[in-house]
Amino acid sequence: MGPIETCDTCMVDVDGKLVRDCATPAATGKNVTTVGGRAEAAQGEAFDLILQKHELYCTVCDNNNGNCTVHNTTRDLKVKHQARPFRPKAYAQDHSNPFYRNDPDQCLLCGRCVEACQNVQVNETLTINWEAKQPRVLWDGGEQIAGSSAEPISANAMRDLIALGKLLGTLDPEPISKFSKEMAEAANSHRAETQPPSMRQLWKRMRSPESRRGLSFLTAMLAALGRATK
């Protein structure tokens, strides 16, 4: 997914103008300030608006596992106190689906779930009702999750996840670990490139034994996944 531009916590000062870093392409000759001054003040203000929508109870939260974006950003921005108190939403939790639940008091209205629904799953199940007094995410315009068009989608996703788990369980962990390290090195090498490689360089890279072995492995994985999900 591309930048959604809804949280504003990545605001930076570029040549004296506050812009969203996630949607601003890098360019030479720009004077960019990411820490301190107006940029840091804007980041803090944006995040405080987010916390106003989210009930913080990190010590007993099921997602307190080091992978919570809100918790980690609170730490990174050194937030000690909220300037705006949390405002509860007048909506009940929805636990009608066995695979996930919806707690409106935890929803930031960031739009990531809607973006994934519409641009990854490519359906219109999820929307945000911005016209409501308290905006909220809706399933099929206001249905319970269990009765919405999301139910067969989540069942299919769980089936595919189980099939993938079975497939990964048959793999040797040593090549996977080596693959992870090679991917990290490749990513670092790619970031270090100041100019895009020429078509000749790309063709030479594609013809290498390493590229052919990688392509062979990927096609075998895809074939196995296809057989497993029949």
* 159 and 176 inside one domain: no
Q: Which residue has the tokens 């895809």?
A: 222
Clarify whether residues 163 and 180 are in a common domain.
no
92 and 81 housed in the same domain: no
Measured between its terminal Cα atoms, the distance across the chain in Å is 28
Q: Are residues 58 and 135 in the same domain?
A: no
Q: Read off the pLDDT band of 15 (50, 70, 90).
A: very high
Q: Check residues 161 and 184 and name the one with the higher pLDDT.
A: 184
pLDDT value at residue 13: 93
Domain boundaries, position 146 = 88-170
Would you give the DSSP letter of residue 80? Answer: -
Q: Which of 114, 112, 94 minimizes the C-alpha distance to 103? A: 94
Instruction: Give the mean pLDDT of the chain.
Output: 83
What is the pLDDT at residue 80?
82
Q: How far apart are CA 99 and CA 154, in angstroms?
A: 7
Higher-confidence residue of 153 and 73: namely 73
Q: 82 and 4, same structural domain?
A: yes
Residue given tokens 């099929």 in the structure block: 140
> What residue ranges in the chain does DSSP mark as E strands?
11-14, 17-20, 32-33, 126-129, 136-139
Q: Is the pLDDT of residue 148 over 90?
A: no
More confident residue, 100 or 42: 42
Does residue 14 have a pLDDT over 90? yes
In the chain, the number of structural domains is: 3
Instruction: Tell me, yes or no, whether 198 and 164 share the same domain.
Output: no
What is the model's pLDDT at position 1?
A: 60
pLDDT band at 42 (very low <50, low <70, confident <90, very high): very high
Band (77; pLDDT cuts 50, 70, 90): confident
Whether the predicted pLDDT of 144 surpasses 70: yes
Res. 154: pLDDT tops 70? no
Q: How confident is the model at residue 153 (pLDDT cuts 50, 70, 90)?
A: low
Residues 107, 53 contacting (CB under 8 angstroms): yes
**End of a domain among 135, 152, 170?**
170
pLDDT number for residue 56: 75
Over residues 179-196, the pLDDT tens digits come to 778 877 877 777 777 788
Same domain, 66 and 82: yes
- Residues 82, 14: one domain? yes
pLDDT confidence of residue 151: 65
Model confidence at 99: pLDDT above 80: no
Q: In percent, how much of the chain has pLDDT > 90?
A: 8
Average pLDDT over residues 57-86: 81
Q: How far apart are CA 230 and CA 220, in angstroms?
A: 16
